Amino acid sequence: MRKARLIYNPAAGRFPAKTLVRRAKDVLKAAGWDVRMVISRSAKHLHTHTVKAVRDGCEAVFVAGGDGSVGAVGTALVGTDTALGVLPAGTSNVWAHDMGLETLAWSRWLALEHAAKRLARSQIRSVDVGVCNGRPFLLWTGIGLDGRMTGSLEPLGRLGKTFAIPQYFTRGVWNIRDWKSMPLRVRALGRNWEDRYLVVIASNICSYAGGLFSLSPDAKVDDGLMDYWLVGGDSLRDAIVRVVQVLRGSHLEEPKVVHFQADKVIVEGDDVLPMQCDGEPGTIEPPLEFSVKPRALKVLVPDDDVPRLFSQS
C-alpha cells in the first residue's frame, strides 16, 4: 500500500469538519493508501508533523485545511520526494480551487470525499516555490495594503469565517481609510521602478484575495517564474479603483499597474512593511529579495484534468 499522512487543522474552515475528514481518509484507504491521521493546532505543529511524515517515508502528505495550512505543509515538503495533497477544508481554498478541486462548504458536504477520490489515483507533478528573504511561499506574498488587511482579519473565529467575504471588504476598507502608499524601489530584469505603491505582490497562481480576484490569469506554477504586480496609487479612492479594475479584468491595461514575470526581484524601502505570506500576516524589513526554487515541490494533481496552471504537459 502507498503510505501517507493526513494532517487536519481543526481551526480551519467555517465549521468543524473532523467527521468529514475521517470520511475522506476512508476513501483514501479504500483506494489503496495506508493513511494515518493526525491533528495539528498550530503552524509549528503542521511543520513538525510534515517533517515526521517525510522521515517515515510517506509518499504523500494530505492536508485538510485552508491556504495557510497548505502553504505551511507545502513549504515543509520542498526538496523532498513526498508529495502534497490538498483536502480543501478551509475558509479560502485558493490553491485547491485553481487545481480544479471542489471545496468544502455548507452546500458541499461531500467535497472532501470527492477530492480524496480524485487525488487517490492522481498524477504527481512538480511546482515552483517562491522565496522572500529566505522564507518560502507556495501561493503568494503581498507587501503593503493586503498585508495590513490580512493582519486586521486574522485570526477569524467561526462566525467571522462564515461571513468572511463581507468582513474582508468591511474591515479592509476600514483599515485602509488612512493608508499611505509606500515609496519603494524595485529592481528586476535589468530595469528599475521607483514610485509610491499601494501593494507589491509576488504570485505563483492565478487567483488572489481568497479567490475573489483572477489577478494573474496566465500564471503557471512550473515555469520557474513568479508573477509580480506593482500597484500604484496613494489613496483609498485609488485602492477602490484598482479593486474594481481587477474585478473587471481591466487592471492588465492600467498604466499605474506594473506587471512582469521574473525569477529574481529586489524591493527596497525605508520602513518596516506589513506583509502576508500564503495568507499568514506579519511584517518584514527591506530590502526584500525574491527568488524562485523551480519545480521544488511535488504535488498531487487530479488525473482526470490537467489544470491550466501547468505549462508542461
Average pLDDT of each block of 10 consecutive residues along the chain (313 residues)?
94 82 97 96 89 98 93 96 95 87 85 95 95 96 85 55 54 66 95 93 86 81 96 76 66 79 97 91 95 98 78 73
Beta bridge pairs of residue 35: 4
Looking at the chain, the domain(s) classified CATH 2.60.200.40 span 135-293
User: 135-293 sits in which CATH class?
Assistant: mainly beta
Kindly report the backbone phi and psi dihedral angles of residue 3, in degrees, each rounded to the nearest multiple of 5, phi listed first.
-90, 135
Start and end residues for every CATH 3.40.50.10330 domain found in the chain: 2-121
Cα–Cα distance for residue pair 307/295, rounded to 1 Å: 16
Closest CA to 94 of 117, 61, 124, 71: 71
Predicted TM-score (pTM) above 0.75: yes
Superfamily for the 2-121 domain: Probable inorganic polyphosphate/atp-NAD kinase; domain 1 (3.40.50.10330)
pLDDT (0 to 100) of residue 153? 64
Q: What is the pLDDT of residue 178?
A: 72
| Residue partners of 110: CB distance under 8 A and separation at least 6 | none
C-alpha cell at position 260:
512582469
